[in-house]
Amino acid sequence: MAHYCLICGSQLQTKWIENREREFCSVCGWINYEQLKVSAGCRIELEGKLLLVQRKNPPFKETWHFPSGYVEVDEYPPHAAERETLEECGLVVSANYLAGAYFYDDDPRGSGVVLMYSATINGGELSLSDETLAVKFFMPDELPALPLAGMSALASIQDWLAEKKNG
């Protein structure tokens, strides 16, 4: 499929640039540096249980993950994590500190990094969105049986479990 320059609309060519083949525009010189998508999410623990949301839509339909989503281009990542949590499960939270950063390359929409913040609940009420099939707090021993939304969900939940075990 032909791709076109975002600056001048000319058809892009491919060329070896800075150690890999990249698309570039021979008319205006624009280079298409493909980059990872950035997402942010919240890790919310209450009375020893972990909050997860179940996806309603593909990809990863009906699997579980932390409330999270794409960071807008002008958005402070902790605010994106708080916004996505409110949208997906109805809770008003504060993203307190970065608990981990998780790479994934198993999403058909493109590869990326998820910034996962440890967060506390300030208000709101657990509720569903049009992207969410269910929201639930899980005990640590319930987590291994859950179908998870890909490698970043698995890695971030494993990290939380390891932290619980190590006190």
What residues line the site for Zn ion (CB under 5 A)? 5, 7-8, 10, 25, 27-28, 30
Kindly tell me which of 10 and 120 has the beta carbon lying closer to Zn ion. Answer: 10
Kindly tell me which of 17 and 28 has the beta carbon lying closer to Zn ion. Answer: 28
Kindly tell me which of 29 and 59 has the beta carbon lying closer to Zn ion. Answer: 29
CB of 130 to Zn ion, least distance (A): 38
Q: Map the chain to HEC letters.
A: CCCECCCCCCECEEEEECCEEEEECCCCCCEECCCCEEEEEEEEEECCEEEEEEECCCCCCCCEECCEEECCCCCCHHHHHHHHHHHHHCEEEEEEEEEEEEEECCCCCCCEEEEEEEEEEEEECCCCCCCEEEEEEECHHHHHHCCECHHHHHHHHHHHHHHHHCC
Kindly tell me which of 26 and 127 has the beta carbon lying closer to Zn ion. Answer: 26
CA–CA gap between residue 69 and residue 92 (Å, rounded)? 16
Kindly tell me which of 8 and 46 has the beta carbon lying closer to Zn ion. Answer: 8
CB of 73 to Zn ion, least distance (A): 21
CB of 5 to Zn ion, least distance (A): 3
CB of 3 to Zn ion, least distance (A): 11
For residue 150 the two structure tokens come to 């890909």
CB of 24 to Zn ion, least distance (A): 9
Cβ atoms of 26 and 57 within 8 Å: the answer is no
